[in-house]
Structure 1
Amino acid sequence: MGELLQQLLILLGGIICLVYLVKCIWFLKYFFPGLWSPVPPSFFRSMGEWAVITGAGDGIGKAYSFELARRGLNIVLISRTLEKLQKVASEIEQTTERKVKIIQADFTKRDILDHIEKHLQGLEIGILVNNVGILPTPYPNCFLSGPKNDEDLINCNILSLTKMTQIILKQMVLRKKGLILNLSSALGTFPCPLYTIYSASKVFVYTFSKALQAEYKEKGIIIQVLTPFGVSTPMTLHAKPNLFTKRAQDFVRESLDYVTFGDESYGCLAHEILGRFMQCIPLWILHSDRMQETIRNTLSGYLKEK
């Protein structure tokens, strides 16, 4: 009996070691994306003639607009501030010589989708980047102490993504090709105190995207959810870039190397490493009163300095 138990434990240990070895080998793809699953230069243009980017006036959305234009696509910019859209459109046209179309829309409102769909008619849309989103406040707060604009957040972070996907996915299915990138957040990969509503809205983006890819991957559509940590944008008060806080342009360029890596990605190597580390921390530690107080004091002090 003792010998049998010993053999079972050895077998179990071998299986665990094998599983972790496979995970380590699989993780190497993020270090060498060009060798593991290279994305041909023509890949993005082969999806279709146009790319649609929401929240394109600033930050990550603006960076995706420029990068996809450089890779050969015409661009549809959608955001609420006309002056920013016009400036970005002018810069893209001058630097890339691609066509740019502007649609002014406030995604906190529910009555804009017909307006958007009308202006997209007749365009061969190969790529959709659902980037638009709002963070009510960068300062960490308990639920009852936070801003009371929950409806705006739900409309912008959840409803807009769902409806934009409905509008554009239909034509992708008919053409049997297309790429949809949905911007979630690392805060949407676990229940995150002090950013409760924002985290919950990004959980929707995360699960919606993964379920949608399961439904449509056999129809030639790539749907990937991105869950970045820190990116220097107006939403993060232009946090100073460092090893883990990426410039928007750098994050976008790196994330496009990972579009064939499956239905989810942290978007860049630094965030992949940080994400694996965070997965090792038990939720009871992250949810403890001491940890919440530490996060509140640290982030509030940092943001006030800015």
Structure 2
Amino acid sequence: MELSTFDSLRYQSPFVLLAISLGATSALRFFLLVLKCLYVLFLRPSKNLAKYGRWAVITGPTDGIGKEMAMEFARKGLNLVLVGRNPEKLNKVSAELREVNSAVKLKTVVMDLSDEIQLRVLIDAVKDVDMGILVNNAGLANEDPVHFHQLGEDTTMKIVNVNLVAPTMITAALLPEMLRKGRGAIINVGSGSTDLPSFPFYSVYAGTKGYIKQFSKNLHIEYKQRGIHVQCQTPNLVATKMASMFSCSFFVATPSQYASSALQWIGYGWHCKPYWAHSLADYLVGTFLTENVINWATYRIINNIKKSGPEDQKM
């Protein structure tokens, strides 16, 4: 007579029962984790962004991620304050936004974030609007991978000003109005390089983005009880001018793909990696590779695309 599963378990040793219990628990936890990931990435509804305010301010809106995020905001009916350094590009993207939604209201602020930041101009532009969302998107990196000593003082300061000084000062300028209203969202576009153990040959870029990640976490803790949602988004590779050596692929998102995912995450958590393939890549790397292997691989990959110069040849 065959024993039932329950009867078979009764005759097992305590160690076997413990092993079976641990295995079943692990399998259940993994199954629930998969269900949670599927819900978060594909099924969770997006927030009503208008609850933060009818206007969004976005820096770097004329190309890449910034432009596509502006398009997504326009599709959702939000009015926009566009902050960029090139008036011709601002006018061009404004015309494209009106084609997406003719009802959208637009303001442009000409400002070079790599130089002295004219905060008063930006403050004046938003003083009479229901400003609810700030997207610190503008970013700058060295065009080619180089050793730190080759970067040059001028390029170093421009990267620091655009990636670190500008978002800090713009946030400081616009946050008081959010506090006065008791609502708002601040989205800082960071970098997937800060989710890796190291990112050689882009030391200043990755360093400034690391600051943005920690800055965002601190602000989230400080202001979440006062109705202000602060979030740092850390995309991996997106096919923009900043990553011109990469073309779109499974793990390299188009700016449109990323922007659509980015808006879905606003209001959820202080840190996120919105595009699902980027999250998958990070999971696979973190699960199967050690830190030393990741450091070795990152160095080799970036060094292989590094353009050799005279200084390299002396090393």
Tell me which interval the TM-score lies in, with the shorter structure as reference length: 0.7 to 0.9
Where does 1:64-143 land on structure 2 (aligned, <5 Å)?
64-97=69-102, 98-137=104-143, 139-143=144-148
Residue 285 (structure 2) pairs with residue 278 (structure 1): yes
For residue 253 of structure 1, give the secondary structure of its aligned residue in structure 2.
helix
Shift of 1:110: 2.9
Which protein is bigger by CA-based radius of gyration? Answer: 2
Q: Is the 8 A contact 2:146 2:306 kept in 1?
A: no
Equivalent residue number for residue 304 of structure 1? none
Equivalent residue number for residue 250 of structure 1? 257
For residue 180 of structure 1, give the secondary structure of its aligned residue in structure 2.
strand
- Taking only the aligned residue pairs, the percentage that are identical comes to 29
Q: Distance in 2 between matches of 1:150 and 1:239?
A: 24
TM-score (norm 1): 0.85
Q: Distance in 1 between matches of 2:114 and 2:298?
A: 32
Shift of 1:286: 2.5
Equivalent residue number for residue 144 of structure 1? 149
Equivalent residue number for residue 32 of structure 1? 42
Aligned partner of 1:32: which letter? F
Residue 64 (structure 2) pairs with residue 59 (structure 1): yes
Q: Is the 8 A contact 1:266 1:275 kept in 2?
A: no
Q: Distance in 2 between matches of 1:22 and 1:127?
A: 33
- Equivalent residues, number: 292
Q: Is the 8 A contact 2:107 2:125 kept in 1?
A: no
Q: Distance in 1 between matches of 2:187 and 2:164?
A: 14
Structure 1: any 5+ residue segments left out of the alignment? Answer: 302-306
Q: Distance in 1 between matches of 2:142 and 2:286?
A: 26
Equivalent residue number for residue 221 of structure 1? 228
**Relative to 1, partners in 2 of residues 1:118 and 1:238: Cα closer, same or farther, differing over 3 Å?**
farther
Equivalent residue number for residue 311 of structure 2? none
Q: Is the 8 A contact 2:142 2:202 kept in 1?
A: no
TM-score (norm 2): 0.83
Q: Distance in 2 between matches of 1:145 and 1:7?
A: 62
Equivalent residue number for residue 202 of structure 2? 195
**Relative to 1, partners in 2 of residues 1:215 and 1:23: Cα closer, same or farther, differing over 3 Å?**
farther
**Relative to 1, partners in 2 of residues 1:205 and 1:14: Cα closer, same or farther, differing over 3 Å?**
farther
Equivalent residue number for residue 266 of structure 1? 273
Q: Is the 8 A contact 1:85 1:102 kept in 2?
A: yes
Q: Is the 8 A contact 1:180 1:223 kept in 2?
A: yes
Structure 2: any 5+ residue segments left out of the alignment? Answer: 1-12, 309-315
For residue 230 of structure 2, give the secondary structure of its aligned residue in structure 1.
strand
Equivalent residue number for residue 297 of structure 1? 304
For residue 246 of structure 1, give the secondary structure of its aligned residue in structure 2.
coil
For residue 202 of structure 1, give the secondary structure of its aligned residue in structure 2.
helix
For residue 193 of structure 1, give the secondary structure of its aligned residue in structure 2.
coil
